Amino acid sequence: ANGKQSIDAVPAILSGIPSLLERPFTESVYASNRMPSLATYFSEQGYHTQFFHGGVNGTMGFEAFTQSAGIQHYYGKSQYPFVDKDYDGNWGIFDEPYLHYFANELTKNDTSFFSVLFTLSSHHPYTIPKHYAGKFPKGTYDIHESIGYADHSLKLFFEEAKKQPWYNNTLFVITADHMSHTDMSFHQRGIGMYHVPIAFYDPSTHWKGEDSTIIQHADLFPTLIALTGGHVKGKFFGRNVFDAETRHDVLNYNYGGEFIYLKDSTQVSFIENQRKAVYMYPKDSLFKHNMLVNHPTYKPDNSDLIIKAKIQAYFKNMEANTWWK
């Protein structure tokens, strides 16, 4: 993930813009900047573009951002036809009925579509339907039961999707918006605070297995364009993850002036324009052994130059409003 909040994920995924600011991009002084987006690209290719989120319209700035990013149709709680029956009483529409609605709406499309769904039942306060009480493991955190429900809802969605005419011609991408509560030490520090799965599923292929290649939400922009036969143009913070010739790395901002950079087997903590710590990843997955302190003979690579260049390019394009050029 390129941020720690739900509000960070949508700009990263749709426009390839990571969250390197103290405030979320959509709440920053750059929020009105013109940005490239997957929606604009696919719209130009004749696709119908949609964004679905069962929360209250306007929540987290999703509706405003997706409209500025070129999404043609936004579907929120206000557009959902069965609110009285399926409202969770807190956040929006429960995942299971909303995913069923999502599948039906996709079938209504009379052309190719680029559709994004942002689910909500695994968001605080983690409410699930009463008739599912006791069905999913409670786990060690409140969120765990709702994750079981979200997973079950996704399973039912795919069972429904398999019956639809668009299924075999659709590329599915599944990811989490950000890390959450966990009792795993790795996820409580360093790059582990951003560690989420990203899955690609194409029913028409035999893709199977796991890949340890470094990938970030910002990589989805150029990756999806390449996978659908397009050509990447313009400025991108991410890379096509399936391009073996390019460098795969991640730069995130951890507040308080710290940037965290991951490349190959190295994580760098970068503060006040210089590296403060270097850890071997994933060998030192708990980030306890700072190579700059514990190994005097360690010779750093050129990561600091890459980090400086990325930060400079990010803020230069933000201030000049030139990401789209």
pLDDT value of position 28 = 93
Q: What is the mean pLDDT of the chain?
A: 94
Which has more confidence, 259 or 181?
259
pLDDT in tens, 270-312: 999 999 999 999 899 899 999 999 988 888 889 999 999 999 9
**% of the chain at pLDDT higher than 90:** 82
- For the chain, report the end-to-end CA distance as a whole number of angstroms: 25
**What was the pLDDT predicted at 232?**
66
b or e along 215-229 (b: 16 or more beta carbons within 10 Å of the residue's beta carbon)? bbbbbbbbbbbbbee
How high is the pLDDT of residue 274?
Answer: 93
Give all strands (DSSP E) within the chain, no chain letters: 48-53, 73-75, 113-118, 172-175, 198-201, 249-253, 258-263, 266-271, 274-280
Average pLDDT over residues 214-237: 88
What pLDDT, on the 0 to 100 scale, is given for residue 236? 78
Tens digits of residue pLDDT in 119-178 = 999 999 999 999 999 999 999 999 999 999 999 999 999 999 999 999 999 999 999 999
Where do the domains of the chain lie, and which CATH numbers do they carry?
A: 6-244 (3.40.720.10), 258-320 (no CATH)
Residue 146, token pair as written in the block: 């709702």
Give the distance, in angstroms, between the CA of residue 93 and the centroid of all CA atoms in the same chain. Answer: 21
Q: Give the tokens for residue 108.
A: 């209504």
pLDDT at 212: 86
State pLDDT tens for residues 63-117: 999 999 999 999 999 999 999 999 999 999 999 999 999 999 999 999 999 999 9
Least Cα distance to 224 among 259, 198, 188, 193 occurs for 198
pLDDT at position 234, please? Answer: 65
Q: pTM for the whole thing?
A: 0.94
What pLDDT, on the 0 to 100 scale, is given for residue 206?
A: 85
pLDDT band at 233 (very low <50, low <70, confident <90, very high): low
pLDDT value at residue 86? 98
